[in-house]
């Protein structure tokens, strides 16, 4: 483990963690841009849009039903659990996740922003009402609200704005945090892709955890290459030993 990283994390006062699809890869969930990310040869970017949903809600819901089936059988992995440990170790802590799989929430983590939403929630396309829908598989495609209107997944699609509460909270923490660990993201989806640079611009220390270099590697103070399910528990173990 990189000694300077542990040293800097030991001194951190406010820790921000950002995760992407890579944190869930070891739980068996396909990443967005990885080789296993395709479904019926569609690219995620082509399906995760309002336009695709309005054009073909059945196909988009079949894609979510497929993902919900995989996620429903998945468990949080040691990487998710290590981030929960970090929350317990730092008084000022926030997790911003781009993932919509809900796996972080299943660790009991409290200080979390699901900035792209959660695919276990639905929103009525007529009333805007938010509900939980846990059926796996879905009983009808597309699922409908009691009012009869089609439901949509309560996620942020490409071309849609991030909910203002999530953006405001994220921007506040970006200004205040002195340390960022960014895990398992290719760093290509905005606005989250711009967050590590914002932390750097504010004098913060940025650690990247990924299996391969990304655009974030160019600005990170340290890049730890390997599986997040291996690296994060090791980081937590070292931090706990330094705090004894
Ligand atoms: C917005 C929910 C205002 C749906 C998702 C500025 C410049 C350019 C473009 C834009 C811009 N501002 C806005 C845009 C447009 C767009 C955008 O960024 N497009 C990109 C493609 C260029 N952004 C938006 O539309 C956002 N809205 O900004 O509103 C606006 C709107 C329009 C125009 C201007 C302004 C909304 C974006 C949200 C999209 N919704 N998900 C759903 O999931 O069903 S995004 C989707 O991508 C997921 O949430 C996913 O988490 C996220 C990011 O992808 P990654 O997590 O990074 O996943 P990926 O597969 O790419 O990478 C996985 C990584 O893990 C890899 O690096 C891999 O090496 C690593 N890895 C793998 N295994 C492991 C591992 N690491 C560690 N351990 C392992 N074991």
Query: In terms of residue numbers, what domain contains 88?
Result: 1-28+76-116+162-244
Tokens of 244: 């004894």
Sign of CA dihedral 183, 226, 33, 48: negative
Phi/psi of residue 209, nearest 5 degrees: -120, 115
CA of 84 to the centre of ligand 1 (A): 23
> Are residues 169 and 219 both part of a single domain?
yes
> Are residues 57 and 131 both part of a single domain?
yes
Distance, CA of 226 to chain centre: 18
Beta bridge partners, 15, equal 93, 179
- For a ligand 1 pocket test, name from 47, 155, 164, 190 the mutation site with the most ligand atoms within 8 angstroms of its C-beta: 190
- Residue 97 Cβ inside 6 Å of ligand 1? The answer reads no
Structure confidence at residue 4 (pLDDT): 87
Which of 155, 173, 203 is where one domain is finished? 155
> Are residues 59 and 87 both part of a single domain?
no
> Are residues 188 and 222 both part of a single domain?
yes
Catalytic residues: 116
> Are residues 66 and 17 both part of a single domain?
no
Nearest to residue 12, comparing CAs of 111, 89, 82, 96? 89
> Are residues 67 and 171 both part of a single domain?
no
Q: Quick check: bond before 142 cis, omega within 30?
A: yes
Low-confidence ranges of the chain (pLDDT < 50): none
- Residue 22 Cβ inside 6 Å of ligand 1? The answer reads yes
> Are residues 139 and 212 both part of a single domain?
no
Q: How far is CA 228 from CA 78, 133, 208, in A?
A: 8, 29, 10
- Protein residue with least CA distance to atom 40, ligand 1: 157
The DSSP bridge pattern shows strands 92-97 and 14-19 to be parallel
Alpha helices in the chain (DSSP H): 3-11, 22-25, 44-47, 50-55, 57-72, 78-89, 164-176, 195-201, 228-242
Q: Please tell me the total count of domains within the chain.
A: 2
Looking up residue 138, the CATH number of its domain turns out to be: 3.30.1600.10
> Are residues 206 and 218 both part of a single domain?
yes
CA atoms of 14 and 175, how far apart (whole Å): 11
> Are residues 7 and 62 both part of a single domain?
no
Looking up residue 186, the CATH number of its domain turns out to be: 3.40.50.1220
> Are residues 183 and 229 both part of a single domain?
yes
Q: For the whole model, what pTM was predicted? A: 0.97
> Are residues 131 and 191 both part of a single domain?
no
- For a ligand 1 pocket test, name from 24, 115, 158, 171 the mutation site with the most ligand atoms within 8 angstroms of its C-beta: 158
Structure confidence at residue 1 (pLDDT): 60
The SS3 call for residue 158 is strand
CA torsion 152-154-158-163 (nearest 10°) is: 140
Tokens of 224: 């730890």
> Are residues 17 and 36 both part of a single domain?
no
CA atoms of 63 and 236, how far apart (whole Å): 36
Structure confidence at residue 33 (pLDDT): 80
């Amino acid at each position: 483990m990189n000694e300077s990283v542990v040293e800097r994390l030991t001194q951190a006062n406010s820790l921000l963690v950002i995760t992407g699809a890579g944190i869930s890869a070891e739980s068996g969930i396909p990443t967005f841009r990885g080789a296993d990310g395709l479904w019926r040869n569609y690219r995620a970017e082509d399906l995760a849009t309002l336009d695709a949903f309005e054009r073909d809600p059945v196909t988009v819901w079949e894609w979510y039903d497929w993902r919900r089936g995989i996620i429903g059988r998945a468990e949080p992995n040691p990487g998710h659990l290590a981030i929960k440990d970090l929350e317990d170790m730092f008084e000022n802590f926030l997790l911003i996740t781009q993932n919509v799989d809900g796996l972080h929430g299943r660790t009991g983590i409290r200080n979390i922003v699901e900035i792209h939403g959660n695919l276990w929630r639905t929103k009525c396309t007529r009333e805007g009402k938010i509900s939980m829908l846990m059926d796996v598989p879905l009983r009808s495609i597309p699922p409908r609200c009691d009012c009869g209107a089609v439901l949509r997944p309560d996620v942020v699609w490409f071309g849609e704005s991030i909910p203002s509460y999530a953006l405001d909270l994220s921007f506040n923490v970006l200004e205040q945090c002195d340390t960022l660990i960014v895990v398992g993201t290719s760093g290509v989806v905005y606005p989250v892709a711009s967050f590590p640079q914002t932390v750097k611009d504010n004098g913060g220390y940025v650690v990247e955890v990924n299996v391969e270099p990304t655009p974030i590697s160019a600005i990170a103070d340290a890049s730890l290459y390997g599986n997040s399910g291996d690296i994060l528990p090791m980081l937590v173990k070292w931090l706990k030993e330094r705090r004894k």
